[in-house]
Structure 1
Amino acid sequence: MISATSPFSLNIPGIARYASAGSATSSEKTDSPDAAKSANTSAAEKKPAAAKAASGEFSADELREITTLKNTDSKVRSHEAAHMAAAGGLSHSGASYEYTTGPDGKRYAVGGEVSIDTSSGRTPEETLRKAEQIRGAALAPADPSGQDLQVAAQAAQMAMRARAEIAAESFAQAKAKSADSAYKSAADNFASSNKPRLSVEA
Protein backbone atom coordinates (compact mmCIF):
# COMPACT_ATOMS: atom_id res chain seq x y z
CA MET A 1 0.00 0.00 0.00
CA ILE A 2 1.04 3.56 -0.60
CA SER A 3 1.93 5.74 2.36
CA ALA A 4 1.85 9.47 1.59
CA THR A 5 4.61 11.57 3.12
CA SER A 6 4.05 15.28 2.81
CA PRO A 7 3.82 18.38 5.02
CA PHE A 8 0.11 18.68 4.23
CA SER A 9 -1.07 15.18 3.39
CA LEU A 10 -2.49 12.48 5.60
CA ASN A 11 -0.05 9.86 6.81
CA ILE A 12 -1.56 6.71 5.38
CA PRO A 13 0.01 3.58 6.92
CA GLY A 14 0.08 -0.03 5.90
CA ILE A 15 -1.55 -2.09 3.18
CA ALA A 16 -4.46 -4.45 3.43
CA ARG A 17 -3.52 -7.45 5.50
CA TYR A 18 -3.84 -10.77 3.72
CA ALA A 19 -3.37 -13.00 6.79
CA SER A 20 -5.72 -15.96 6.74
CA ALA A 21 -8.55 -16.19 9.22
CA GLY A 22 -7.87 -18.50 12.14
CA SER A 23 -4.11 -18.35 11.65
CA ALA A 24 -2.17 -19.51 14.68
CA THR A 25 1.14 -18.11 13.47
CA SER A 26 2.99 -15.33 15.26
CA SER A 27 3.09 -11.89 13.67
CA GLU A 28 5.91 -9.39 13.82
CA LYS A 29 5.26 -5.63 13.72
CA THR A 30 1.47 -6.06 13.95
CA ASP A 31 -1.17 -5.29 16.54
CA SER A 32 -2.75 -8.74 16.25
CA PRO A 33 -3.22 -11.01 19.30
CA ASP A 34 -0.81 -13.44 17.65
CA ALA A 35 2.00 -10.92 18.12
CA ALA A 36 1.48 -10.81 21.88
CA LYS A 37 1.15 -14.59 21.98
CA SER A 38 4.41 -14.96 20.09
CA ALA A 39 6.21 -12.68 22.53
CA ASN A 40 5.25 -14.97 25.39
CA THR A 41 6.15 -18.18 23.59
CA SER A 42 9.07 -19.89 25.31
CA ALA A 43 12.05 -21.38 23.53
CA ALA A 44 10.88 -24.79 24.65
CA GLU A 45 7.54 -24.34 22.87
CA LYS A 46 9.32 -23.36 19.66
CA LYS A 47 11.51 -26.46 19.54
CA PRO A 48 8.79 -28.84 18.32
CA ALA A 49 8.02 -26.48 15.41
CA ALA A 50 11.69 -26.33 14.52
CA ALA A 51 11.91 -30.10 14.69
CA LYS A 52 8.87 -30.42 12.44
CA ALA A 53 10.38 -27.98 9.98
CA ALA A 54 13.58 -30.02 9.90
CA SER A 55 11.78 -33.30 9.38
CA GLY A 56 9.05 -31.91 7.15
CA GLU A 57 6.30 -33.48 9.28
CA PHE A 58 3.26 -31.18 9.34
CA SER A 59 -0.41 -31.75 10.00
CA ALA A 60 -2.99 -31.13 7.27
CA ASP A 61 -4.00 -27.84 8.94
CA GLU A 62 -0.38 -26.73 9.11
CA LEU A 63 0.19 -27.57 5.45
CA ARG A 64 -2.91 -25.53 4.50
CA GLU A 65 -1.65 -22.65 6.61
CA ILE A 66 1.78 -22.77 4.99
CA THR A 67 0.19 -22.74 1.53
CA THR A 68 -1.99 -19.77 2.50
CA LEU A 69 1.02 -17.88 3.88
CA LYS A 70 3.01 -18.53 0.71
CA ASN A 71 0.18 -17.16 -1.41
CA THR A 72 -0.18 -14.17 0.90
CA ASP A 73 3.55 -13.45 0.74
CA SER A 74 3.45 -13.54 -3.05
CA LYS A 75 0.42 -11.20 -3.23
CA VAL A 76 1.90 -8.69 -0.79
CA ARG A 77 5.25 -8.54 -2.57
CA SER A 78 3.60 -8.20 -5.99
CA HIS A 79 1.35 -5.45 -4.63
CA GLU A 80 4.28 -3.44 -3.28
CA ALA A 81 6.41 -4.09 -6.36
CA ALA A 82 3.66 -2.53 -8.51
CA HIS A 83 3.63 0.56 -6.28
CA MET A 84 7.42 0.83 -6.45
CA ALA A 85 7.58 0.49 -10.23
CA ALA A 86 5.00 3.22 -10.80
CA ALA A 87 6.29 5.55 -8.06
CA GLY A 88 9.78 5.79 -9.54
CA GLY A 89 11.79 8.59 -7.95
CA LEU A 90 8.91 9.61 -5.68
CA SER A 91 9.78 6.69 -3.39
CA HIS A 92 13.12 6.94 -1.62
CA SER A 93 13.05 4.17 1.01
CA GLY A 94 11.67 1.17 -0.85
CA ALA A 95 8.98 -1.15 0.44
CA SER A 96 8.70 -2.18 4.09
CA TYR A 97 6.94 -5.36 5.17
CA GLU A 98 5.23 -6.93 8.14
CA TYR A 99 5.95 -10.60 8.68
CA THR A 100 4.46 -13.64 10.37
CA THR A 101 6.22 -16.90 11.12
CA GLY A 102 4.61 -20.04 9.76
CA PRO A 103 4.53 -23.56 11.20
CA ASP A 104 7.61 -24.30 9.10
CA GLY A 105 9.60 -21.63 10.95
CA LYS A 106 9.83 -19.37 7.87
CA ARG A 107 8.86 -15.71 7.81
CA TYR A 108 6.13 -14.64 5.39
CA ALA A 109 5.10 -11.10 4.43
CA VAL A 110 1.49 -10.39 5.40
CA GLY A 111 1.48 -6.61 4.91
CA GLY A 112 3.60 -3.78 3.65
CA GLU A 113 3.77 -0.22 2.46
CA VAL A 114 5.65 2.06 0.09
CA SER A 115 6.15 5.67 1.21
CA ILE A 116 6.11 8.32 -1.50
CA ASP A 117 6.63 12.07 -1.54
CA THR A 118 3.37 13.93 -2.19
CA SER A 119 4.63 17.49 -1.73
CA SER A 120 3.87 20.12 -4.37
CA GLY A 121 6.31 20.84 -7.17
CA ARG A 122 8.12 24.11 -7.76
CA THR A 123 5.64 25.07 -10.48
CA PRO A 124 1.99 24.17 -11.15
CA GLU A 125 3.16 22.15 -14.16
CA GLU A 126 5.56 20.13 -12.01
CA THR A 127 2.86 19.64 -9.37
CA LEU A 128 0.50 18.32 -12.04
CA ARG A 129 3.09 15.82 -13.26
CA LYS A 130 3.74 14.63 -9.70
CA ALA A 131 0.04 14.32 -8.95
CA GLU A 132 -0.51 12.15 -12.01
CA GLN A 133 2.45 9.94 -11.07
CA ILE A 134 1.23 9.61 -7.47
CA ARG A 135 -2.23 8.59 -8.66
CA GLY A 136 -0.69 6.06 -11.04
CA ALA A 137 1.46 4.61 -8.25
CA ALA A 138 -1.51 4.32 -5.89
CA LEU A 139 -3.62 2.50 -8.47
CA ALA A 140 -0.79 0.40 -9.93
CA PRO A 141 -1.61 -2.90 -8.16
CA ALA A 142 -4.34 -5.08 -9.63
CA ASP A 143 -6.09 -4.96 -6.24
CA PRO A 144 -5.67 -1.42 -4.82
CA SER A 145 -6.67 -1.22 -1.18
CA GLY A 146 -8.90 1.35 0.48
CA GLN A 147 -5.81 3.26 1.57
CA ASP A 148 -4.48 3.23 -1.99
CA LEU A 149 -7.78 4.66 -3.23
CA GLN A 150 -7.54 7.42 -0.62
CA VAL A 151 -4.10 8.42 -1.85
CA ALA A 152 -5.33 8.32 -5.44
CA ALA A 153 -8.22 10.64 -4.50
CA GLN A 154 -5.79 13.06 -2.83
CA ALA A 155 -3.62 13.02 -5.94
CA ALA A 156 -6.65 13.77 -8.12
CA GLN A 157 -7.45 16.82 -5.97
CA MET A 158 -3.81 17.90 -6.15
CA ALA A 159 -3.95 17.65 -9.95
CA MET A 160 -7.18 19.62 -10.08
CA ARG A 161 -5.66 22.47 -8.05
CA ALA A 162 -2.57 22.47 -10.28
CA ARG A 163 -4.71 22.65 -13.43
CA ALA A 164 -6.66 25.56 -11.94
CA GLU A 165 -3.38 27.40 -11.23
CA ILE A 166 -2.13 26.72 -14.75
CA ALA A 167 -5.41 27.99 -16.23
CA ALA A 168 -5.29 31.12 -14.05
CA GLU A 169 -1.72 31.85 -15.12
CA SER A 170 -2.59 31.32 -18.78
CA PHE A 171 -5.58 33.65 -18.47
CA ALA A 172 -3.49 36.33 -16.77
CA GLN A 173 -0.81 36.07 -19.46
CA ALA A 174 -3.40 36.25 -22.26
CA LYS A 175 -5.06 39.24 -20.61
CA ALA A 176 -1.73 41.04 -20.21
CA LYS A 177 -0.84 40.30 -23.84
CA SER A 178 -4.21 41.57 -25.03
CA ALA A 179 -3.88 44.75 -22.98
CA ASP A 180 -0.37 45.31 -24.31
CA SER A 181 -1.56 44.82 -27.86
CA ALA A 182 -4.47 47.22 -27.34
CA TYR A 183 -2.18 49.84 -25.83
CA LYS A 184 0.27 49.54 -28.70
CA SER A 185 -2.53 49.82 -31.25
CA ALA A 186 -3.96 52.90 -29.54
CA ALA A 187 -0.52 54.47 -29.38
CA ASP A 188 0.04 53.84 -33.08
CA ASN A 189 -3.34 55.32 -33.97
CA PHE A 190 -2.67 58.38 -31.86
CA ALA A 191 0.73 58.93 -33.44
CA SER A 192 -0.72 58.47 -36.90
CA SER A 193 -3.55 60.97 -36.33
CA ASN A 194 -1.19 63.63 -35.01
CA LYS A 195 1.32 63.56 -37.83
CA PRO A 196 1.81 66.98 -39.50
CA ARG A 197 0.15 67.11 -42.91
CA LEU A 198 1.44 69.13 -45.84
CA SER A 199 -1.29 70.81 -47.83
CA VAL A 200 -0.40 72.07 -51.30
CA GLU A 201 -2.77 74.42 -53.06
CA ALA A 202 -2.68 74.91 -56.82
Structure 2
Amino acid sequence: MIAPLTFANRYDYFPSAARVGADERGVRADPANSESGSATGGLSPQARQKVAELQRRDREVRAHELAHVAAGAGLITRGANFTYVTGPDGQRYAVAGDVRIDTSPGRTPEETLRRAEQVRAAALAPADPSPQDYAVAAEAARMAAEARQALAAERRQEQTTEVSGSAPLTAATDKANQAARFAPAALRPQTIGRLIDLFA
Protein backbone atom coordinates (compact mmCIF):
# COMPACT_ATOMS: atom_id res chain seq x y z
CA MET A 1 0.00 0.00 0.00
CA ILE A 2 1.24 3.48 -0.77
CA ALA A 3 0.37 6.43 1.41
CA PRO A 4 0.79 10.06 0.43
CA LEU A 5 2.91 12.25 2.64
CA THR A 6 0.01 14.60 3.23
CA PHE A 7 -2.25 12.01 4.84
CA ALA A 8 -1.65 8.54 6.21
CA ASN A 9 -4.57 6.23 5.68
CA ARG A 10 -3.80 2.61 6.21
CA TYR A 11 -5.38 -0.53 4.90
CA ASP A 12 -4.71 -3.37 7.34
CA TYR A 13 -4.95 -6.88 6.07
CA PHE A 14 -4.97 -8.31 9.59
CA PRO A 15 -6.32 -5.86 12.19
CA SER A 16 -4.85 -7.78 15.13
CA ALA A 17 -1.31 -7.43 13.77
CA ALA A 18 1.26 -5.43 15.72
CA ARG A 19 2.84 -2.46 13.93
CA VAL A 20 6.61 -2.54 13.59
CA GLY A 21 8.85 0.09 11.98
CA ALA A 22 11.10 -0.49 9.01
CA ASP A 23 14.18 -0.14 11.21
CA GLU A 24 13.23 -3.31 13.10
CA ARG A 25 13.23 -5.45 9.96
CA GLY A 26 16.86 -6.39 10.45
CA VAL A 27 16.04 -8.02 13.80
CA ARG A 28 13.32 -10.23 12.34
CA ALA A 29 14.26 -13.69 11.16
CA ASP A 30 13.43 -14.05 7.49
CA PRO A 31 10.94 -16.92 7.10
CA ALA A 32 12.10 -17.54 3.55
CA ASN A 33 15.65 -18.20 4.77
CA SER A 34 14.77 -20.15 7.90
CA GLU A 35 14.95 -23.89 7.90
CA SER A 36 11.30 -24.76 7.56
CA GLY A 37 11.93 -28.37 8.51
CA SER A 38 13.34 -27.61 11.95
CA ALA A 39 10.98 -24.67 12.58
CA THR A 40 7.82 -26.56 11.66
CA GLY A 41 8.92 -30.09 12.56
CA GLY A 42 6.95 -30.27 15.80
CA LEU A 43 3.86 -28.47 14.46
CA SER A 44 0.51 -29.97 13.64
CA PRO A 45 -0.56 -30.14 9.97
CA GLN A 46 -2.92 -27.17 10.51
CA ALA A 47 -0.11 -25.13 12.07
CA ARG A 48 2.23 -26.03 9.19
CA GLN A 49 -0.45 -24.92 6.74
CA LYS A 50 -0.81 -21.63 8.63
CA VAL A 51 2.97 -21.11 8.52
CA ALA A 52 2.96 -21.77 4.76
CA GLU A 53 0.15 -19.21 4.31
CA LEU A 54 2.03 -16.65 6.40
CA GLN A 55 5.23 -17.23 4.42
CA ARG A 56 3.32 -16.73 1.16
CA ARG A 57 1.68 -13.57 2.52
CA ASP A 58 5.04 -12.25 3.74
CA ARG A 59 6.49 -12.63 0.23
CA GLU A 60 3.45 -10.94 -1.35
CA VAL A 61 3.54 -7.98 1.05
CA ARG A 62 7.26 -7.43 0.57
CA ALA A 63 6.97 -7.66 -3.24
CA HIS A 64 4.02 -5.24 -3.15
CA GLU A 65 5.90 -2.61 -1.14
CA LEU A 66 9.10 -3.10 -3.15
CA ALA A 67 7.15 -2.34 -6.34
CA HIS A 68 6.00 0.97 -4.81
CA VAL A 69 9.55 1.87 -3.77
CA ALA A 70 11.03 1.01 -7.17
CA ALA A 71 8.45 2.98 -9.18
CA GLY A 72 8.45 5.95 -6.79
CA ALA A 73 12.22 6.45 -6.68
CA GLY A 74 13.02 10.04 -5.81
CA LEU A 75 9.58 10.71 -4.30
CA ILE A 76 9.61 8.06 -1.57
CA THR A 77 9.98 9.78 1.80
CA ARG A 78 10.17 6.65 3.92
CA GLY A 79 10.87 3.06 3.04
CA ALA A 80 8.45 0.24 3.61
CA ASN A 81 6.89 -0.03 7.05
CA PHE A 82 5.48 -3.47 7.86
CA THR A 83 2.91 -4.92 10.23
CA TYR A 84 3.87 -8.34 11.58
CA VAL A 85 2.13 -11.31 13.15
CA THR A 86 3.84 -14.15 14.94
CA GLY A 87 3.19 -17.52 13.38
CA PRO A 88 2.72 -20.86 15.17
CA ASP A 89 6.45 -21.48 14.65
CA GLY A 90 7.39 -18.35 16.65
CA GLN A 91 8.61 -16.44 13.56
CA ARG A 92 7.29 -12.99 12.62
CA TYR A 93 5.69 -12.55 9.22
CA ALA A 94 4.81 -9.33 7.40
CA VAL A 95 1.09 -9.26 6.71
CA ALA A 96 0.65 -5.57 5.76
CA GLY A 97 2.81 -2.63 4.87
CA ASP A 98 2.93 0.88 3.55
CA VAL A 99 5.31 3.28 1.85
CA ARG A 100 5.18 7.08 2.16
CA ILE A 101 5.44 9.15 -1.01
CA ASP A 102 5.65 12.91 -1.48
CA THR A 103 2.51 14.04 -3.32
CA SER A 104 3.19 17.77 -3.17
CA PRO A 105 3.05 19.72 -6.43
CA GLY A 106 6.19 20.83 -8.23
CA ARG A 107 7.41 24.40 -8.72
CA THR A 108 6.12 24.53 -12.30
CA PRO A 109 3.20 22.88 -14.07
CA GLU A 110 5.66 20.73 -16.04
CA GLU A 111 7.31 19.49 -12.85
CA THR A 112 3.93 18.94 -11.21
CA LEU A 113 2.82 16.88 -14.20
CA ARG A 114 5.96 14.71 -14.06
CA ARG A 115 5.60 14.21 -10.32
CA ALA A 116 1.90 13.35 -10.58
CA GLU A 117 2.57 10.80 -13.30
CA GLN A 118 5.31 9.19 -11.21
CA VAL A 119 3.11 9.11 -8.09
CA ARG A 120 0.33 7.46 -10.09
CA ALA A 121 2.76 4.91 -11.55
CA ALA A 122 4.14 4.15 -8.07
CA ALA A 123 0.66 3.73 -6.61
CA LEU A 124 -0.37 1.28 -9.34
CA ALA A 125 3.00 -0.52 -9.60
CA PRO A 126 2.09 -3.66 -7.62
CA ALA A 127 0.21 -6.46 -9.33
CA ASP A 128 -2.61 -6.11 -6.77
CA PRO A 129 -3.06 -2.45 -5.73
CA SER A 130 -4.90 -1.87 -2.46
CA PRO A 131 -7.87 0.51 -2.07
CA GLN A 132 -5.45 3.10 -0.64
CA ASP A 133 -3.22 2.67 -3.70
CA TYR A 134 -6.20 3.40 -5.96
CA ALA A 135 -7.07 6.48 -3.87
CA VAL A 136 -3.52 7.85 -4.19
CA ALA A 137 -3.54 7.12 -7.94
CA ALA A 138 -6.83 9.01 -8.31
CA GLU A 139 -5.41 11.99 -6.40
CA ALA A 140 -2.32 11.94 -8.63
CA ALA A 141 -4.52 11.83 -11.75
CA ARG A 142 -6.42 14.88 -10.46
CA MET A 143 -3.13 16.68 -9.81
CA ALA A 144 -1.94 15.81 -13.33
CA ALA A 145 -5.18 17.13 -14.86
CA GLU A 146 -4.76 20.43 -12.99
CA ALA A 147 -1.15 20.67 -14.19
CA ARG A 148 -2.26 20.06 -17.79
CA GLN A 149 -4.87 22.81 -17.43
CA ALA A 150 -2.21 25.18 -16.08
CA LEU A 151 0.08 24.31 -19.00
CA ALA A 152 -2.73 24.95 -21.49
CA ALA A 153 -3.48 28.30 -19.83
CA GLU A 154 0.22 29.25 -20.07
CA ARG A 155 0.27 28.35 -23.77
CA ARG A 156 -2.88 30.40 -24.43
CA GLN A 157 -1.31 33.33 -22.57
CA GLU A 158 1.88 33.03 -24.65
CA GLN A 159 -0.14 32.94 -27.89
CA THR A 160 -2.18 35.97 -26.81
CA THR A 161 1.02 37.84 -25.99
CA GLU A 162 2.53 36.92 -29.36
CA VAL A 163 -0.58 38.04 -31.25
CA SER A 164 -0.98 41.31 -29.35
CA GLY A 165 2.76 41.97 -29.60
CA SER A 166 2.77 41.47 -33.37
CA ALA A 167 -0.48 43.38 -34.04
CA PRO A 168 1.21 46.80 -34.47
CA LEU A 169 3.69 45.28 -36.92
CA THR A 170 0.86 43.72 -38.88
CA ALA A 171 -1.06 47.02 -38.94
CA ALA A 172 2.01 48.92 -40.16
CA THR A 173 2.60 46.35 -42.89
CA ASP A 174 -1.04 46.61 -43.99
CA LYS A 175 -0.79 50.42 -44.18
CA ALA A 176 2.41 50.23 -46.22
CA ASN A 177 0.85 47.76 -48.63
CA GLN A 178 -2.23 49.97 -49.02
CA ALA A 179 -0.10 53.06 -49.66
CA ALA A 180 1.95 51.21 -52.26
CA ARG A 181 -1.20 50.27 -54.13
CA PHE A 182 -2.25 53.88 -54.51
CA ALA A 183 1.24 55.33 -55.08
CA PRO A 184 2.00 56.90 -58.43
CA ALA A 185 3.61 54.66 -60.98
CA ALA A 186 6.91 56.50 -60.64
CA LEU A 187 7.22 55.39 -57.02
CA ARG A 188 6.50 51.78 -57.78
CA PRO A 189 9.42 49.51 -58.58
CA GLN A 190 9.72 48.67 -62.24
CA THR A 191 8.97 45.18 -63.35
CA ILE A 192 11.71 43.02 -64.79
CA GLY A 193 12.34 43.56 -68.47
CA ARG A 194 11.67 47.31 -68.54
CA LEU A 195 14.39 49.85 -68.83
CA ILE A 196 14.65 52.38 -66.10
CA ASP A 197 15.44 55.94 -67.13
CA LEU A 198 18.36 57.07 -64.98
CA PHE A 199 18.84 60.43 -66.70
CA ALA A 200 16.91 63.49 -65.83
- Which range, TM-score by smaller chain? 0.7 to 0.9
Contact 2:40 / 2:89 at 8 angstroms: preserved in 1? no
User: Structure 1's 55 and 16: CA in aligned 2 closer, same or farther, altered over 3 A?
Assistant: closer
Using structure 1 for the length normalisation, give the TM-score.
0.74
Match in the other structure for 2:89: 104
- Alignment pair present for 1:61 and 2:10: no
Match in the other structure for 2:19: 29
Distance, in Å, in 1 between the alignment partners of 2:62 and 2:85 is 14
1:42-191 superposed matches below 5 A: 56-189=41-174
Contact 1:2 / 1:13 at 8 angstroms: preserved in 2? no
**1:58 is matched by which residue type in structure 2?**
L
- Residue 80 (structure 1) shift: 0.3
Contact 1:12 / 1:147 at 8 angstroms: preserved in 2? no
Instruction: Give secondary structure in 2 for the equivalent of 1:58.
Output: coil
Percent identical among aligned pairs is 47
- CA-based RMSD: 2.7
User: 1:94-143, CA deviations, whole angstroms, 9 ceiling, x for partnerless residues?
Assistant: 11101011111111001000100000000000000000000000000000
Distance, in Å, in 1 between the alignment partners of 2:133 and 2:125 is 9
- Alignment pair present for 1:14 and 2:10: yes
Contact 2:40 / 2:48 at 8 angstroms: preserved in 1? no
Distance, in Å, in 2 between the alignment partners of 1:55 and 1:64 is 10
- Residue 27 (structure 1) shift: 2.9
Unaligned runs of 5+ in 2: 21-37, 187-199
Instruction: Give secondary structure in 2 for the equivalent of 1:96.
Output: strand
184-193 vs 145-154, greater mean Cα deviation: 184-193
User: Structure 1's 55 and 82: CA in aligned 2 closer, same or farther, altered over 3 A?
Assistant: closer
**2:142 is matched by which residue type in structure 1?**
Q
- Residue 16 (structure 1) shift: 5.0
Contact 1:2 / 1:15 at 8 angstroms: preserved in 2? no
- Residue 92 (structure 1) shift: 2.5
User: Structure 1's 54 and 141: CA in aligned 2 closer, same or farther, altered over 3 A?
Assistant: closer
Distance, in Å, in 2 between the alignment partners of 1:128 and 1:178 is 27
Distance, in Å, in 2 between the alignment partners of 1:154 and 1:82 is 19
User: Structure 1's 101 and 199: CA in aligned 2 closer, same or farther, altered over 3 A?
Assistant: closer
Distance, in Å, in 2 between the alignment partners of 1:61 and 1:199 is 109
Unaligned runs of 5+ in 1: 20-25, 31-52
Contact 2:65 / 2:97 at 8 angstroms: preserved in 1? yes
Count of aligned residue pairs for this structure pair: 168
Contact 1:66 / 1:102 at 8 angstroms: preserved in 2? yes
Q: Which runs of 4+ in 1 moved over 3 A?
A: 187-195, 197-200
Distance, in Å, in 1 between the alignment partners of 2:184 and 2:135 is 77
Match in the other structure for 1:22: none
User: 1:151-178, CA deviations, whole angstroms, 9 ceiling, x for partnerless residues?
Assistant: 1111110000000000000001001101
Match in the other structure for 2:4: 4
Using structure 2 for the length normalisation, give the TM-score.
0.75
Contact 2:5 / 2:77 at 8 angstroms: preserved in 1? no
Distance, in Å, in 2 between the alignment partners of 1:112 and 1:63 is 24
